[in-house]
Amino acid sequence: MAIRASQIKSPTNVGKDVTIRGWVYRLRRQKENAFVLVRDDRGGVIQCVFPAEKVSGLTIESSVEVTGTVSQDARAPEGGYEIKGKIINVYSTAGTDYPIGEFQSDELLLDKRHLTLRTRKMIAMAKIRATVLELGRRWFVENDWMEVTAPTIVKGAVEGGSTLFKLNYFDEEAYLSQSAQLYLEAMIFSLGPVWSLTPSFRAEKSRTVRHLAEFSHLEAEAPWITLEEILQVQEQLVSYMIQNTIKARAQELAYLKRDTSELKKVVPPFERLPYPQAIETLRSKGFTITQEDGGKREIKLGDDLNIDSERELTKDATKPIFVIGYPISVKPFYVKEDPVHRGVGLAADMLAPAGFGEITSGGLREDDIVSITDRIKNEGLNPASYDWYLDLRRYGSVPHGGFGLGIERLMRWITNADDIKDTVLFPRTMSRVAP
């Protein structure tokens, strides 16, 4: 392997000959010399200076190997080091019509995402993403949760039928999984606390800055856990991921112009805001919701929260807020009903501050066979399709619960990205399934 730009930029290398491989990132020709900025395979950039005639046919994004002598020159971009080039081998000369330049529409950048991945913004995003995923895994490993994977081709809905992707599965109908939860619930009986990172799919018919059709879903489930313990796991996990990401990826976050001083404040505990109080706060601000007929009315107890009400609740917050105790009527069939306060679900969502909105949903699961069968029926679902899931309530049911965290939602907050599409390498949305 050739060495990378970052390994070259050190006073001890001055005067030494090095070889670097990469792609032509910028090219500036003067009468005598040409300045070739080479981007290595991790996005590091270093200037290589050649006599102009030596690189006459070179084009942007050609792949090259450069050998030369390291020198220090305050004028050199990217940290004051450059390579006085001696040899340049071109692996492949790129066509002169390379479509990504300095000013492009967002649409073109998405159409050419396979090339956009070479931009500094996407390289920074990819590195932050890798770190976020690594830290999530590390937190679970260090806290004795077992990693599992669940199938993504399934027979039943978890989060409602309206966002299911249908699939021809040999001779029967199947769906793409919306959540691994039901499978994780099966696993806790023999594996204890488990977690998974798998893609989840939602046929979201809305175009918003926080919905993808395919997203990376970090989910966890444990037996004999209380709602408060589930919240503690989430606030510790999210704080750990954020505090370590801002340390490990300070450079990339700075490149994205993310002010991390706000993120430094994200440490446990997070506020617990009872749902009725959330509604009361919104009402006191005169918050209205749009009805199906287009008319507006004041928000009231029983309404679900949406992107706008979540923004209103969190716009001045510096830390996430848990909204707890949503009505079971706005939550899926599996949410456990509070035995004391009927109609109240033992469930909570974590809302990220500054308007980023929901990043996790979780809570206790209905563990009683009669109640859950009723809830499945009430949601218009067929209990027969959930027979295996009901077995978990028939044979040694235990109180249990867990949560799901959307990696791209978390990434959007950490990077302060306008659009969730920016946080994933190849986004899938209602209007985009290629490249």
Residue 421 and residue 430: Cα distance in Å, rounded?
A: 12
Using the minimum distance from each CB to Mg ion, give the nearer residue, 37 or 305. Answer: 305
H/E segment holding residue 29: strand 17-29
Q: What share of the chain is helix, strand, coil (3-state, %, to 5)?
A: 35, 30, 40
Partner whose footprint covers residue 49, from ligand 4AD, Mg ion, none (CB < 5 to 8 Å by kind): none
Query: Is 245 a binder of Mg ion (CB under 5 A)?
Result: no
What is the rounded distance in angstroms from the CA atom of residue 237 to the CA atom of residue 268? 10
Min dist. Cβ of residue 25 to ligand 4AD (A): 32
Among 361, 397, 415, 423, binds ligand 4AD (CB under 6 A): 361
Quick check: 361 binds Mg ion (CB under 5 A)? yes
The region that residue 79 occupies, defined by phi over 0 for left and psi between -120 and 50 for alpha, beta otherwise, is left
Sheet holding 357-364, edge to edge: 146-147, 194-201, 214-223, 400-406, 357-364, 347-352, 321-324, 271-274
**CA 278 – CA 270 distance, rounded (Å):** 15
Closest contact distance (angstroms) between CB of 34 and Mg ion is: 55
For residue 181, the partner it binds in ligand 4AD, Mg ion, none, with Cβ less than 5 to 8 A by kind, is ligand 4AD
Count CA atoms closer than 13 A to 209's CA, side-chain side. Answer: 15
Residue 204 vs 419, nearer CB to ligand 4AD: 204
212 closest CA partner among 255, 155, 169, 165 = 165
Does residue 215 belong to the site contacting ligand 4AD (CB under 6 A)? yes
Q: Is residue 204 near ligand 4AD by the rule CB under 6 A?
A: yes
Beta bridge partners of residue 271, listed in sequence order: 321
Listed in order, strand segments (DSSP E) in 158-246 are 166-169, 172-176, 194-201, 214-223
Residue 234 sits in the site that holds ligand 4AD (CB under 6 A): no
- Closest CB 213 distance from ligand 4AD, rounded Å: 7
Are residues 350 and 360 in contact, defined by beta-carbon separation less than 8 angstroms?
A: yes
Q: Is there binding between residue 422 and ligand 4AD (CB under 6 A)?
A: no
| Interacting positions 148-187 with ligand 4AD (CB under 6 A) | 158-159, 178-179, 181
**Smallest gap from residue 255 Cβ to ligand 4AD (A):** 24
| Residue 402 binds ligand 4AD, judged by CB under 6 A | yes
Token pair for 202: 């939602």
Q: Total number of residues binding ligand 4AD (CB under 6 A)?
A: 24
CB of 359 to Mg ion, least distance (A): 9
Neighbours of 415 (CB within 10 A): 23
Cβ proximity to ligand 4AD: between 36 and 347 the closer is 347
Binding string to ligand 4AD for residues 95 to 134, with x set by CB under 6 A, is what?
Answer: ----------------------------------------
Residue 360 lies near ligand 4AD (rule: CB under 6 A): yes
Q: In whole angstroms, give the CA distance from residue 372 to residue 435.
A: 41
CB 244 within 8 A of CB 135: yes
Site for ligand 4AD in 245-284 (CB under 6 A): none
Binding flag, residue 200, Mg ion (CB under 5 A): no
The residue among 182 and 253 lying less far from ligand 4AD, judged by its C-beta, is 182
Determine, following the binding rule CB under 6 A, whether residue 211 of this chain makes contact with ligand 4AD: yes
Q: Is 348 in the site for ligand 4AD (CB under 6 A)?
A: no
Site for Mg ion contains 234 (CB under 5 A): no
Residues in the interface with Mg ion (CB under 5 A) total 1
Q: Alpha helices of 365-431 — where are they, by DSSP H?
A: 369-378, 387-394, 407-415
Positions that interact with Mg ion (CB under 5 A): 361
Contact footprint for ligand 4AD (CB under 6 A): 158-159, 178-179, 181, 202, 204, 211-212, 215, 217, 219, 358-362, 402-406, 408-409
